[in-house]
Structure 1
């Protein structure tokens, strides 16, 4: 029983997750993003200063390094491309358009598993 617990814990550890920069991880990201919904929340952390990231000045000021978002119920117009996604987030009564290239993603997971992590 203890061995099974350790295997599950190690598999879920960020140290053992595939780096988000690998092509296979980016493919998983795109595939999983397309399934984002209230029934299947998708979580990701990205570098806000990375090339190609588009945020409002207010979000960039509030999150100068990293930002974590959960795509569950407060989003619209999710558009997934081969190298990036953009989405309209509803944050505290306002709408914010966010564009995130896959190379800016630090970690990505859904309710079932950690898909990738860069540390």
Structure 2
């Protein structure tokens, strides 16, 4: 038994439960008002379900937008599946909660970021680019200050919404 409380992991579990609850409510009743979500996830996570062409296009991470068109949103304890439209091509995705790096609802200026503490060697190998694909199939590049990948201890941090504002 450890002689200390692991607040970092407890916070991550609570934040993932919050995301699970929000998505479960949306699956049941739809998106209320102007709410919509930018969800960035690690495409290298072993349990991510993604079409090969999307994995080739987004080899490290991908940001999806759940807003105007989405279908078959199904939420489980471990993750969620959703079908999004990429250039008039509906594609099913499965995203485990453990793969999520950021969850943002710009309509109410709310955001969560799951940050990984990596060694200096891993930091040097991290990618500086962040890709965005919305539910209408548009994709654009954005600079990201979130680290890519890693399996070390994770710290919670609120993400700045400035990069999502138009």
Please state which band the TM-score falls in when normalised by the shorter chain.
Answer: 0.7 to 0.9
**2:104 maps to which of 106, 109, 118:** 109
User: Does 1 or 2 have the higher relative contact order (CA < 8 Å, sep 6+)?
Assistant: 1
1:53: how far off? 0.2
1:22 has 2:12 as partner: yes
In our comparison, the structure showing a higher alpha carbon Rg is 2
1:43: how far off? 1.2
Instruction: Specify every segment of 5 or more residues in structure 1 that has no aligned partner in the other structure, as ranges.
Output: 1-17
Alpha-carbon distance in structure 2 between the residues aligned to 1:100 and 1:61 = 17
Partner SS for 1:87: strand
Q: Which residue of structure 2 aligns with residue 57 of structure 1?
A: 52
1:74 has 2:69 as partner: yes
Deviation >6 Å, runs of 4+: none
Aligned length: 101
Alpha-carbon distance in structure 2 between the residues aligned to 1:26 and 1:86 = 15
- Aligned 8 A contact 1:33 1:42 in 2: no
